[in-house]
Chains A and B, each alone.
Chain A
Amino acid sequence: MNKKKITLKAEGLVGGYGGMNILNSIDIEITQGEIVSIIGPNGAGKTTLLKSIFGLIELKKGNIFLGEVEVTNQSPQNMVMSGLSYVPQERNIFPTLTVKENLDMGAYLRENNLKESMESIFSLYPVLNEKRNQAAGELSGGQQQMLAISRGLMSDPQFLLLDEPTAGLSPKLFDETFDSILKIKELGIGILIVEQNAKKSLKISNRGYVLVAGENRLTGTGESLLINKEVANLFLGGQ
């Protein structure tokens, strides 16, 4: 626990699909043990940002540093090895594999201490322990989301990138999901969340970034963004 906290830093990111740029110039940073929300309208480049940090989309410009080490345009595999984990919004579990096999796969690049990780996940989400031998595709939507996050945790990451973890969940499950994200934060993991549910997400965040058209529009603490007029008008329903 005394280890120095590492910071993930992205500077001047430019990238997208083919010739089209979706990210025009984005800077963000997150330190271990922090929750950072990325909010913005549809098409602002939130998901693209996560994907390009994780090496799924090639960056044309910009740098990503993990502590002192540059990790720009690394393969997803190397990113997992360097301590990043990405949980996509959809198709984030292996449906025909059992719950336990899904977790095994999350730990694919690890050799040791799987038991410990699995136990801490089962204490976070006891229901997964009960259903460990069931096919993941048979779980309810909420349970699948828990499994997806757990799969991301099994690689023992320093940073977890979550793409809309509450999409399609009932309001009751929102709160459960955000509760568990707070618990994950306590493990010393930095959590970068992209969320539609901006209000709830900012409430539990240390800091937030507002993206518009692939650029940083606003940055601040979760609190300050919550009471910001512009943010309220743009994304929080104008109250």
Chain B
Amino acid sequence: MTELFTYYLFPGLILGSIYALGAIGVSLLFGILRFAHFAHGDLMTFGAYVAFSMVTLFNISPYMAIPASIVGGIGISILIDKVCYRPFRQSKTIVLVISSLGVSLMLRSIIQIFWGVDYEVYFSGIQPSIDVAEDFRIKIHHIWIMLGSFSLIFLTHLFLKNTKLGKAMRAMSDDSELALITGIHTERVITATWIIGGSLAAVAGIFLGIDTQLSPSMGWDQLLPLFAAAILGGIGRPYGAIAGAMIIGVAEELSSYPGFLGENAPLLSPAYKTGVAFFIMVVMLIFKPTGLFRGRQF
């Protein structure tokens, strides 16, 4: 039982909270701008590498590099929006989707040019952990990642629920034409969405880097689970994205838990982890395309 917690369930929740940070952005952006932002994973990578530079330059912990990385994430998001998406606001969705695919390739190449193509880590050596119970150990980093993700998610929630701009964001996600008629500054709302999406993605990238390692394709590789989480929760529904992310994270980890079959063979080889997210996404799209929280249809 403790094995289930230590090696599958808890890491699943960690992975889920990292996915949640990315999936909230994907979901909010889809709600406001009506397109699937394929470069979102690469925004995560960018955030992770900005932090990596801070870590190597100033010899600080990656947690201390979060503010710099958030600034970088916001900057690049707003720049990309102005240059690559804003000219296509009135165009068909597919134009924006293709544009974001192009942005994704560009971002990854820029990262490779600046930081190289090798795997990097924020720190090496054995990562400290604490014993919660007999045989149940938690890495200290996992505690920080979870606390960090949950506080950011909570802050986002407070913003969406209580601020004028946050409410305007939800209003625009409901109906952008009515938002315009009501007098809402739609461009301002779009900028705010990029600020939130860009910050959360940057932090997600750092957390992913802490949990695993850095590589130029680290974010791109998460795109499938991010979208699976957003779709599972109901696209355009940030709260749904959080629930979806947790389910996907835990499902991916549990898929290789050996205890289910009663023998010591894993249910699925860990190599098929991403397949689990893909499977959930396809099933949802076929049977319940609006997701668990009644989002928009793709």
A: which residues have CB within 8 A of B?
54, 56, 76-77, 80-81, 86, 88, 91-97, 101-102, 104-106, 108-109, 151, 155
Contact = CB atoms under 8 A, between A and B. Distances in A.
Contacts of A105: 167-168, 171, 179, 182, 184
B296 to A, nearest CB: 11
A104 to B, nearest CB: 6
Contact of A151 (B164, B168, B173, B182): B182
B191 to A, nearest CB: 15
B170 A96 contact: yes
Interface SS majority for chain A: loop
Interface of B: 164, 167-168, 170-171, 173-175, 177-185
B183 A109 contact: yes
Nearest to B180: A76
B183 A81 contact: yes
Contact of B183 (A92, A94, A108): A108
Contacts of A101: 167, 170-171
A105 B170 CA distance: 10
Give the 5 A-B residue pairs with the shortest CB-CB distance, closest first.
A80-B183, A94-B174, A109-B183, A94-B171, A105-B171
A95 B181 contact: no
19 contacts: A56-B180, A56-B181, A77-B184, A77-B185, A91-B177, A94-B170, A94-B174, A94-B175, A95-B174, A96-B170, A97-B167, A97-B170, A104-B167, A105-B179, A105-B182, A108-B183, A109-B183, A155-B182, A155-B183
A91 B184 CA distance: 16
A204 to B, nearest CB: 24
B181 A97 contact: no
B171 A97 contact: yes
B181 A54 contact: yes
Contacts of B177: 88, 91
Contacts of A95: 174-175
Contacts of B174: 94-97
A108 B170 contact: no
Contacts of B179: 94, 105
A77 B175 contact: no
A187 B31 CA distance: 37
